[in-house]
A and B are shown apart, each in its own frame.
Chain A
């Protein structure tokens, strides 16, 4: 990888050198570097599809897998299929994400299709950052699809962040949670200029004691457009909460369509959604602390997206 690619990697995975544990760096549609450990195997797919199978042995604890993708070649469309098999009782961190550096006038696009099979009582913390940069006029497009299948007692916390530089994104996330399982999705999104973003999240709580939470925070600036469709379905004695908050600025437009679907009398489902501009009294308070209006706005957004 060259310096530009390392810079993108730092944005998406906070990496300045190869990480500890297992990793797989994919650059411009090709494997760049890979390392496996005694407990975590990464293998290229053998069915002809581009992508990898990541297998974590049962009981693996405190290990991590980094699988970042960098696109620095303009005009490249990279589709990748990554399947994760997390063994029973494992407890691991997975850091994914994609960064595009586009210097040309052609579109660069990455569609990452991730499928997680998470075994009984396993715990996964998944971090995914999407980022775009580059002086080119070519569009930077990211369309991820994430499917998660949580077995009994398994849990997954997903931090999905896209703060800048992605012109267009359609993000689909589907999660099935078995009895006693838990899925928490923290989604943070900011769009600017003429960017568009669409996020469709569906969590299906299938077993008793299953829990699901979607906490979505977004900021729309410029003339950007965002659409959110989080849906929580309860099919058992379960608890689900959808919370969407958006700050609207400039001429941006945000549509939020949360849905809750109770298919069991014991399902407890809640949704909350709010969209509005930055409250005037928040700005005034920060002005009285000596900040300028621009600094106040940035601090409020920084806190909001946290």
Chain B
């Protein structure tokens, strides 16, 4: 179980102003759930995900995972405790091959061809074409993003956090990706926290959390929260309907 309690993350801007990126966030995610975090840009979703992984150190509050207080653990120790995070904008590694990166993620010296194929197929990439390529600028943004997701699959961590996994991915690969999330969820071994704005991913969720202005604006079952989100989109906006203005 992931228990986030009164989490804060403040930074001081260049002009000296205090910015409260995360303000008193409390959130509990039960084991095996698929929770989608959504909300407007700049609301604090990525900061929350990065703070759970330890990439940002919170200025207040606590994070517990499987009963262990991980608030002050290093990134490495959190990873070893079973937390994983797929970067929104993954880095590239000149010279490092896709097989090496995925092997590192899997905690193995080397990957068998079957393992390489398994992880890459789940993100819509053909292992034969990609396993020996370098994770460098020769790959497109969408390809790097899918390899990033493959590293999270290879880690098989108890908590998988994905930060806008759909960004930069074509429609066909996206369909494959949603199936992958669905399968992991059905397997029940991992808890999934997915930051997303995509309806197809949101519809997979057990629960939806809406983060706005650094706070939890809504949190509830998908069936309850999703209609509320839709009502606030342009097609759902009464003022935008033909003849309403």
Q: Tell me, yes or no, whether A287 is within 8 Å of chain B by CB.
A: yes
- A303–B90 CB distance below 8 A: no
The CA-CA distance from A290 to B76 in the complex, in Å, is 5
Within 8 A of A (CB), among B85-128: 85, 87, 90-91, 93-97, 100, 104-105, 107
Query: At the interface, is chain A mostly helix, strand, loop or mixed?
Result: helix
Among A172-180, A205-213, A278-286, the stretch that binds chain B is: A278-286
Contact of B87 among A285, A290, A292 (CB under 8 A): A285
- A292–B100 CB distance below 8 A: no
The CA-CA distance from A285 to B105 in the complex, in Å, is 10
* Closest beta carbon of chain A to B34's beta carbon, Å: 20
Residue in chain A with minimal CB distance to B53: A288
Contact of B100 among A285, A291, A303 (CB under 8 A): A303
**A289-B79 CB under 8 A given contacts A303-B96, A303-B100:** yes
The CA-CA distance from A305 to B96 in the complex, in Å, is 9
Residue in chain A with minimal CB distance to B96: A303
Q: Mark A199-233, 1 if CB is under 8 A from B, else 0.
A: 00000000000000000010000000000000000
* Closest beta carbon of chain B to A294's beta carbon, Å: 10
Q: Tell me, yes or no, whether B19 is within 8 Å of chain A by CB.
A: no
The CA-CA distance from A288 to B50 in the complex, in Å, is 10
Cβ–Cβ < 8 Å partners of A279 in chain B: 91
The CA-CA distance from A303 to B91 in the complex, in Å, is 14
**A288-B95 CB under 8 A given contacts A299-B104, A303-B100:** no
Q: Mark B61-96, 1 if CB is under 8 A from A, else 0.
A: 000000000000011100110001101001101111
Q: Tell me, yes or no, whether B27 is within 8 Å of chain A by CB.
A: no
- A290–B80 CB distance below 8 A: yes
Q: Tell me, yes or no, whether B151 is within 8 Å of chain A by CB.
A: yes
Contact of B96 among A287, A288, A299 (CB under 8 A): A299
Q: Tell me, yes or no, whether B45 is within 8 Å of chain A by CB.
A: no
**A303-B79 CB under 8 A given contacts A288-B55, A290-B107:** no
The CA-CA distance from A87 to B70 in the complex, in Å, is 67
Q: Tell me, yes or no, whether A245 is within 8 Å of chain B by CB.
A: yes
Contact of B79 among A282, A290, A306 (CB under 8 A): A290
Cβ–Cβ < 8 Å partners of B91 in chain A: 279, 281-282, 284-285
Residue in chain A with minimal CB distance to B75: A287
**A287-B79 CB under 8 A given contacts A282-B93, A303-B95, A306-B95:** yes
- B76–A303 CB distance below 8 A: no
Q: Tell me, yes or no, whether B146 is within 8 Å of chain A by CB.
A: no
Q: Tell me, yes or no, whether A300 is within 8 Å of chain B by CB.
A: yes
Q: Tell me, yes or no, whether B8 is within 8 Å of chain A by CB.
A: no
* Closest beta carbon of chain B to A277's beta carbon, Å: 13
Cβ–Cβ < 8 Å partners of A293 in chain B: 76
- A305–B95 CB distance below 8 A: yes
Contact of A292 among B76, B95, B97 (CB under 8 A): B76
- B94–A245 CB distance below 8 A: yes
* Closest beta carbon of chain A to B130's beta carbon, Å: 16
The CA-CA distance from A306 to B135 in the complex, in Å, is 13
Residue in chain A with minimal CB distance to B155: A289
Within 8 A of A (CB), among B142-174: 151, 155
* Closest beta carbon of chain B to A242's beta carbon, Å: 16
- B87–A217 CB distance below 8 A: no
Q: Mark A82-113, 1 if CB is under 8 A from B, else 0.
A: 00000000000000000000000000000000
Cβ–Cβ < 8 Å partners of B53 in chain A: 288
The CA-CA distance from A291 to B155 in the complex, in Å, is 12
23 contacting pairs across A/B (C-beta < 8 A): A217-B94, A245-B94, A282-B91, A282-B93, A284-B91, A285-B87, A285-B90, A288-B53, A288-B75, A288-B79, A288-B84, A288-B87, A289-B105, A290-B107, A290-B155, A291-B76, A292-B76, A300-B93, A303-B94, A303-B96, A304-B94, A304-B96, A305-B95
Binding site for B on A (CB under 8 A): 217, 245, 279, 281-282, 284-293, 299-300, 303-306
- Known pairs A288-B53, A290-B80, A303-B94 / 13 extra A-B pairs, C-beta < 8 Å: A284-B91, A285-B87, A285-B91, A286-B104, A287-B76, A287-B79, A288-B84, A290-B155, A299-B96, A303-B93, A303-B96, A304-B93, A306-B95
